Structure 1
Amino acid sequence: MYRMLMVDDDANLSRVMKKIVEIDPQWEFFSASSGEAGVAEAQARRPDVIILDFNLGELSPNGFEVLQSLRQDPVLRLIPVIMLTGTMMSTESKVEGLDLGADDYLLKPVSPPILMARARAAVLKAQKSHRMQ
């Protein structure tokens, strides 16, 4: 069983993604609506991949700050993170995110089959990397 955590302040998107992801019996989906809750969920559930929205609302840290928290945690730092954004990001912002440890980017509205393919690829890549260490 694979576990996907989506950290996004859009509750409707999270509900839709849960239905889509859990069509595949190999996947379990859970979500958090803020950066702090996302880090806490990741610590509690140890997902195989994290889908992280870049803009988490005014009261929450932005996606890069959450990404930094994940990468500084000795247990969570190796979990693949796919950044999700509803706006076009500048090349500089994408580079910054990759330098901070993002594994991939997706633009909203995201195609569910593409999201699942990217999530599977990220998990497989992480598994191969762990075996090589």
Structure 2
Amino acid sequence: MVKQILVIDDEDDIREIAKVSLQISKQWQVLTACSGQEGVAIATAYQPDAILLDVIMPDVDGLTTLDTLKKTPATQRIPVIMLTATGGIVSDQQYAELGAQAIMAKPFDPGLLGDQIAAALHWDSD
């Protein structure tokens, strides 16, 4: 079965690189959103298998978006992987307590992104 991933990031190039990388390396369907609000709406409507969520975004940041996703019945079971370029602001433990499944550093290696997501979510190569 084809996995569907939602990438929420305010940077156009990051969304595009992640999308193309995951489509090519894993043949996954990739949805994108440029803001937390749009991401929550898309997650609610499409129920992706996982969400890749940027931490630092204008207006509504990644942590607030994560909190909304985890408090919304329609999206609370979707695993979320936080993407962060800023190490140390929030600890891995704090991310986990907020409901994040994993944390990945930006910039990421497009060639490894799909495998890193699959490993973080314990998806066997299917």
| Same fold? TM cut 0.5 | yes
How far residue 62 of structure 1 moved from its aligned partner, in angstroms, is: 1.2
Matched letter for residue 117 of structure 2:
A
**Which of 4-13 and 19-28 deviates more?**
19-28
Q: Give the structure 2 partner of residue 84 of structure 1.
A: 83
Q: Give the structure 2 partner of residue 99 of structure 1.
A: 97
1:46 partnered with 2:47: yes
CA contact (8 A) 1:9 1:56 kept: yes
Q: Deviations over 1:26-51 (max 9, x none)?
A: 41011101000000010111110100
1:115 partnered with 2:116: no
TM-score of the pair, normalised by structure 1: 0.83
1:64 partnered with 2:72: no
How far residue 25 of structure 1 moved from its aligned partner, in angstroms, is: 6.0
How far residue 76 of structure 1 moved from its aligned partner, in angstroms, is: 1.1
Calculate percent identity across the aligned residue pairs: 34
CA contact (8 A) 1:7 1:34 kept: yes
**Which of 64-73 and 93-102 deviates more?**
93-102
Following superposition, which runs of at least 4 residues in structure 1 exceed 3 angstroms of deviation? none
CA contact (8 A) 1:80 1:103 kept: yes
CA RMSD between the two structures? 1.8
Gaps of 5+ in 1: 126-133
Q: How many residues matched?
A: 122
TM-score of the pair, normalised by structure 2: 0.87
**Which of 13-22 and 48-57 deviates more?**
13-22
More helix by share: 1
